[in-house]
């Protein structure tokens, strides 16, 4: 069972919310409670709820001593939540931004799209690579077969002849 990276409780193994990816591709997962607290701190409209959620996350992190990447990630999320709460308190926050995906990828500019020539060149490179692999595999097979035959000959020469 996976452990929550913030509070060390059991987390769902199959579809736990992911906080971050480690250096070696390992998942930093959250339990449902920590995920709800982070979500509430990031998206709630109630200042008390935001503050309470931030306090709960801070308390859990201080009690469980998470790794540096978790601290860094949660700190940046809580900093953004604090800025959002301050803007809500000041009355300057635009709630229409909440409905939009923050990391939404905009349309890719045409000059960045893969051209037809690039696709054709990639296909030609793949075909050349397949031919090279096939030839290499045959040569390697012949060499290994010859080495095997030589080893068998040496064994027979040593013990039979």
Average pLDDT over residues 77-86: 90
> Is 27:21 a contact under the CB 8 Å cutoff?
yes
Pairwise CA distance, residues 71 & 146, whole Å:
58
Q: What is the pLDDT of residue 53?
A: 93
161 versus 69: which is more confidently predicted? Answer: 69
> Taking Cα atoms as reference points, which of 28, 8, 11 lies closest to residue 20?
28
Average pLDDT over residues 87-115: 69
Three-state DSSP at 3 gives strand
Per-residue pLDDT tens over the stretch 13-23: 778 888 888 77
> Taking Cα atoms as reference points, which of 93, 91, 57, 96 lies closest to residue 77?
57
Per-residue pLDDT tens over the stretch 22-73: 777 778 889 889 999 999 998 888 899 999 999 999 999 888 888 888 889 9
Q: Average pLDDT, whole number, for the chain?
A: 85
Q: With 80 as the cut, is the pLDDT of residue 112 above it?
A: no
Longest dimension (CA), the chain: 98
Pairwise CA distance, residues 136 & 134, whole Å:
5
């Amino acid at each position: 069972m996976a452990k929550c990276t913030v509070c060390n409780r059991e987390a769902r193994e199959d579809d736990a919310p992911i906080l971050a990816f480690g250096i070696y591709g390992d998942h930093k997962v959250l339990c449902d409670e920590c995920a709800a607290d982070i979500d509430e701190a990031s998206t709630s409209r109630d200042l008390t709820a935001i503050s309470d959620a931030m306090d709960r996350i801070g308390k859990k992190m201080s009690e469980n001593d998470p790794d540096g990447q978790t601290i860094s990630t949660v700190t940046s999320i809580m900093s953004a939540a604090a800025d959002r709460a301050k803007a809500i308190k000041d009355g300057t926050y635009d709630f229409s931004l909440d409905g939009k995906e923050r990391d939404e990828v905009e349309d890719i500019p045409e000059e960045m799209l893969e051209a037809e020539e690039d696709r054709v060149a990639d296909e030609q490179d793949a075909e050349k690579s397949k031919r090279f692999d096939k030839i290499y595999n045959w040569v390697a097979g012949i060499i290994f077969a010859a080495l095997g035959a030589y080893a068998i000959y040496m064994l027979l020469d040593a013990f039979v002849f």
